Structure 1
């Protein structure tokens, strides 16, 4: 149960912390984060040249995410698929944590759902994180 609950809580913590970043910086920061996620498996090289191809795809998606929360959400869902492939192949995102890709595959859709709703501040009701800087 903890293997499922912990990644969900991590995803929610990511959303809450990111909600403190004012717009337009929040969207830009998340575009950079999803772009970085595309390179997360590069050092393992479990899928050979496909690792580089995936990194290139997510770099494009992240670039589009600079102007679109939908693309950022799409990037997190693409990364979810990559997590599943790596979990099944036995090459975890964290080499010392066997089920880390499984956890990432649960965490990423939580973030994607938030992105698909426009990455709004969950603290907006308190007036925190929704200022335009």
Structure 2
């Protein structure tokens, strides 16, 4: 379950984010990856290296304001940082020893969704794959 739940969390994240319309969805995800980049700062498990990593992810997130690809790259960078923290034994949630491993499993799911352009999973589930920004064709009823 410790390996399956993070995948579900990543899918749930993408599904919930799909409720946000573009271009706000992309911008909100850029902010989210910036926040994730700073998540380890308070624990300081990697010492002074936490600051350059946070600066790097902040730059990537800034680029992500206009590009899903950069947001995906940011989540992949966070995945790598999660793995470093897991191996070092400095988890993102101090009292959950496998929390960084769970994050390292969840983040690539989110990254893949972002690298695909952050498509609406709600529309996918509904079976109506319309281009972003287009409105559904109104249906008229006789009567």
Q: TM-score range, shorter-chain basis?
A: over 0.9
In the alignment, the residues of structure 2 paired with residue 22 and residue 97 of structure 1 have an alpha-carbon distance, to the nearest angstrom, of 34
**Alignment correspondent of 1:12:** 11
**Alignment correspondent of 2:139:** none
Gaps of 5+ in 1: none
Gaps of 5+ in 2: 135-143
The structure whose RCO (Cα within 8 Å, separation 6+) is larger is: 1
In the alignment, the residues of structure 2 paired with residue 20 and residue 46 of structure 1 have an alpha-carbon distance, to the nearest angstrom, of 35
**Alignment correspondent of 1:51:** 50
State the shift of 1:123 in Å. Answer: 1.5
Report Cα offsets for 1:36-84 as digits up to 9, x if no partner: 0110000111111110000000000000000100000000000000000
Q: Between Structure 1 and Structure 2, how many residues are aligned? A: 130
State the shift of 1:124 in Å. Answer: 2.0
2:81 corresponds to 1:82: yes
In the alignment, the residues of structure 1 paired with residue 45 and residue 94 of structure 2 have an alpha-carbon distance, to the nearest angstrom, of 12
TM-score normalised by L of structure 1: 0.93
In the alignment, the residues of structure 1 paired with residue 12 and residue 46 of structure 2 have an alpha-carbon distance, to the nearest angstrom, of 30
Q: What secondary structure sits across from 1:3 in the alignment? A: coil
RMSD: 1.4
